[in-house]
Structure formats: structure tokens, C-alpha cells
Chain A
Amino acid sequence: MNIPDIQSPSVASSFDVQRIRASFPNLHREVHGNPLVYLDNAATAQKPQLVIDRLNRYYSRENSNVHRGVHTLSQEATDAYEGARERIRAFINASSNHEVIYTRGTTEAINLVASTFGRKHLSAGDEILISTMEHHSNIVPWQMLCEEKGATLRVIPISKAGEIEYDAFLSMLSERTKIVAICHISNTLGTINPLDRMIADAHRYGATVVVDGAQAVPHMRVDVQALDVDFYCFSSHKMFGPTGIGILYGKESLLEAMPPYQGGGDMIDTVSFEKTTYNTLPHKFEAGTPHIAGGIGLGAAVEYMESIGLETIAEYERDLLAYGTEQLRSIEGVRIIGTASQKASVLSFLIGDIHPYDTGTILDRLGIAVRTGHHCTQPLMDHWGLPGTARASLAFYNTREDIDALVAGIRKVKTFFE
């Protein structure tokens, strides 16, 4: 009897990547006469037409200031802007809109927490834990805070593969630990950190956990309630939305108890020269006219990602990353930096002794966009004694053909420099 070759319904069959690619106009341009192969998604992602159109519609048809006017345009702009906030709330499963604060991006979100929560709760002798793999934006704000308060910044070590040394992390936790600031996914290594465990362990010592989620949100379902995370920060532009806008999620009880960040319009309740009282959440942290179009555009990006499905995205990218890893490993002399067992999106690599700048320059001539350098993780590069790496980072619109082009490009780079 013939047994039919039955395959389980895979993502590959339900996910039409060519249809997806058709929605991203910038993917179809040429660079130096070659079709663009865009592999710099960890730096910023391309924008689908739906997001571009939404920005266009806002400026053409709805432009008006929010939260102020009684007139129709202002009402419409406010509805759109606050509607986007609701969509983002649902996207990360926050329990209330009050917990979703618009910021300029991940960097500002982390700075906001350091400047308000950090200043209020940190004293001399306290400790903040970060990891070796943090982006500068999750190092410097804490360094500044520690200098101001006489607190200590301690760095959780990582293994050769680029994973948190978990026993070391546990041994560093104590009653002195006030804040644990950690990335969900490393922008340089692609490591997915074990947030569930880390947050639970940090909470046992009463520490507050701040997560840099910039690299996670574009690639996987993030549920802030399931994680029980205290603060979670991310950027719109890495998740197919406009630049200049991002989100700080914070637990309502924590946000309520925090002083405001910046003073100005929109964040106030009443103002007199003697005393100002502050607006309620989330507006308490949103001084001045916000990036209205950005918020609305981010809402559209979230809608777009949800229409594909975060689980579908994660599964497709997992397959693509596995293919990319296997292909890069097959090239003699290529070393992948960051080999954690749980990874997403990122392929950081070195080719023999070839400088990443040289690699990136030749790949660019071939139309292949990768990032080269230290990826704003200088301490991590110093830790391993590397001048930097070349980094290919994937999104759901990338294909196996993109990986093949990268592999051909790397072979070309080798002929130049070896």
C-alpha cells in the first residue's frame, strides 16, 4: 500500500511571503544596480503601504491637536490616537490603557523609568543589575542614575554562546537589588533571555524588572501580564511603524506612584503659579503635543502584524533563522557570534580576519544591507575582544533567497580579502 507523503500544514503553505513583500514598497528598490536585500531589520524595519497610507491620511484628512478642542477634527484625531493606544494595549495584553505610555522610543522609555521611578526609589548602597549583552540605551541611563545616587551597577555575565549565566544572576540577587534591567532579545546576538524565570526570581527579592523589548516585539507574541513584567519598553520603527514613537508599558500601581517625567501641556490637571496638579495616567507622562501621526501609524503597524499573526511570524522566522544559520555555517571561515539555544532574527558573524567594515562595504555594493560595527553594545564587543561584527537581522518579509544572496555575498567578500 502506498502511504501518501502527508506533511503537517506548515507555515510555508499558509504564509505567502511574496504577497507580504508586495506590501513593502521600499523592498523593491535597487542599490548599486542590484535588487535590495534588506537584512538590517534589527536597526529598523521597512514600512508596509498600509502604515504609509495611514500617515498620509492623518496629515491629509485628520490633522488636528489631540485632547484639547471641542471641534470635530480634534475629536477625530483624538479618537484615532487613543484608538491606537487601545490597539497597542491589546497587542501586549496590558490590563488597562493607563499602562500604555507613548514615548519617543525604547531609549526614552528607559530614561523615563530611570529618571522617575529610579530617582524616587534608589538610594546609596542599592544595586541595579544589567547584563553584558545590553544595548547602550539600557546601560547609560542606569549608569547615570547610579552615579547620582551612589548606587552600584552590576553586570550579569554571559556564556560563550551568549546566554545569561543563570547561577551568577541568582547569586547577584539580594535585598540590595532594586532594579533588574535586561533585554528580552539581544540586538547583537539574538539571544532570547529567559524572562519568565528572571522576573520571578528578581521579584522574590523585591526588585523591579525593566525590560528592553525593542528586538522582541517585532518577532514574537509578548504578553506583559503573563510575564508579570514591571516595565516593558519598545520602539515603533522596529515593528514596521513610524520612527519617533515608542511605548513604555508599566504596571498601573507603579506608574501611579511615580513623579512626572517632563512638565508642560497635556500632563497637567490644574496650573497656578503656586501649585500644579498632574493629569491622570497615561497623560501624566506625556507632556506637550505628542507625535500624533506616529501613534496612529504605530496602531496601523500593530493591526498589520496582527493580521498576519504573531505566532505565524515567529514560526516563519524560526525556520528562516535555522536555514540562515545552517547556510552561514557551511561557509569555511565564517564564525557566528551568538549561538544561544533560544534565538530570534539575528545572525552576527565574522569572516576569518576580515574587518566587518570591509565586509559591510562589499555587501553594500552587492545590494545587501547589513549592519556592521559594535551595534551599540561596545561593552559586549570588548568582553569578547571583537572589533565588531557584521549582522544580518531578519524580518518576516525576508526569504530563503535573501539568505542565499547573503551567502553568495560572503563568498564574494572572501575572494576580495583572502
Chain B
Amino acid sequence: MVNGQEAAIIEEFALFDDWMGRYEHLIELGKDLPLIDPDMQDDTHRIRGCQSQVWLHAFEENGKVFFKANSDAAITKGLIALLVRVLSGQAPQAIIDAPLGFLDQIEMKEHLSPTRKNGLDAMIKQMKLYAVAFKQITH
């Protein structure tokens, strides 16, 4: 587990006893996502996904990696918000090693499938790649 954020997310989602509550909460969380600058919503920052578009930006401060993102689909945006909440502000190595098991525990794992085509699987890879890159720079 990367940090207390994962535990907090699992606890939050446990409050809902049906999928509708979980999805409503997910969509709400999307509204708190630190948004990427609209000028950066371009092909360079776009994660290739089949259906919903996802844009991701990463930067480094004092040895920690921070992320901003956006998506044109609300559910995808909520899922990205979860990833950003867990991974943003972490050291590169922690991001690289993060198993992100919480997605399974909040019953959102189906969205991680590469065939789901929401760009989320590619998004995690991209976040970890950024972490690898920043690790090289800081060393």
C-alpha cells in the first residue's frame, strides 16, 4: 500500500452497499481531480484510449512526482482522480512499486482491463513511466 490514501479510499467506498452508490461517489471524486492546464490537452499529453480521451501531465518537486489530468468521460475522470490521489506527491520508487490493489477492493477493477478501452490501463503505465524518468533525473 502506497499510503493512507488507499486505505481511506477503501473505507469511503465501503460505505456504499450497492454499485450505484459507488459509481455516484466515483463521479463526485472526479470533480476534485487536479486538472491539467487546458492548453496541455493536446496529442502530446493524450493517453491513447479507444473511447474516452485522457490527458496526463507530470512534474517533479523536491523529489516527489505530482500529476494533473483530465478526461471527457465522467467515470474515467473519477478513476483517474483515484489514481492521482494515491500516486501524486509520492517518491518515484513508491510510484513504480505501487500495486494499486485498492481498485480491486472497491470493485472497480473491471475498468483496468486493457480491453476496456478507457485509457486507464495505459494511464497507469504512463504514470509509472514518468516516475521512472524522474527517478533517473533525480539520481
- A and B are partners in one complex rather than unrelated chains: yes
Name the contact of B76 in the complex, choosing from A357, A374, A416 (C-beta under 8 A). A357
9-residue interface stretch from B4-12, B47-55, B129-137: B47-55
A-side contacts of B117, CB under 8 Å: 373
Indicate whether B32 reaches chain A with its CB closer than 8 angstroms. Answer: no
B-side contacts of A358, CB under 8 Å: 73-76
Interchain CB contact under 8 A, A417 and B51: no
Indicate whether A19 reaches chain B with its CB closer than 8 angstroms. Answer: no
B-side contacts of A362, CB under 8 Å: 23
Name the contact of A416 in the complex, choosing from B27, B50, B72, B73 (C-beta under 8 A). B27
Counting chain A residues whose Cβ lies within 8 A of the other chain, the interface size class is: 10 to 19
Assembly CA distance A365 to B22 (angstroms): 12
Assembly CA distance A259 to B117 (angstroms): 40
Indicate whether B118 reaches chain A with its CB closer than 8 angstroms. Answer: yes
Q: Which residue among A32, A357, A358, A362 has the maximum number of chain B CB atoms within 10 Å of its CB?
A: A357
Within 8 A of A (CB), among B1-54: 19-20, 23-24, 27, 50-53
Whole-angstrom distance between the Cβ of B19 and the nearest chain A Cβ: 5
Interchain CB contact under 8 A, A356 and B51: yes
Whole-angstrom distance between the Cβ of B107 and the nearest chain A Cβ: 11
Counting chain B residues whose Cβ lies within 8 A of the other chain, the interface size class is: 10 to 19
Assembly CA distance A417 to B20 (angstroms): 12
Closest to A362 in B: B23
- Interface 0/1 of A341-371, CB less than 8 Å to B: 0000000000000111110011001000000
A-side contacts of B51, CB under 8 Å: 356-357, 372-374, 387-388
Asked if A387 meets B27 with Cβ closer than 8 Å, knowing A355-B52, A357-B52, A372-B51, the reply is no
Assembly CA distance A417 to B50 (angstroms): 21
B-side contacts of A387, CB under 8 Å: 51-53, 72
Within 8 A of A (CB), among B80-139: 117-118
Interchain CB contact under 8 A, A373 and B50: yes
Assembly CA distance A374 to B51 (angstroms): 7
Interchain CB contact under 8 A, B19 and A355: no
B-side contacts of A374, CB under 8 Å: 51
17 A-B pairs with CB atoms under 8 Å apart are A32-B19, A354-B74, A355-B52, A355-B73, A357-B51, A357-B52, A357-B73, A357-B118, A358-B73, A358-B74, A358-B76, A361-B75, A373-B117, A374-B51, A416-B20, A416-B23, A416-B24
A residues touching B (Cβ–Cβ < 8 Å)?
32, 354-358, 361-362, 365, 372-374, 387-388, 416-417
Please name the 7 residue pairs, one residue from A and one from B, whose CB atoms are nearest each other, closest first. A355-B73, A357-B73, A357-B52, A373-B51, A357-B51, A358-B74, A358-B75
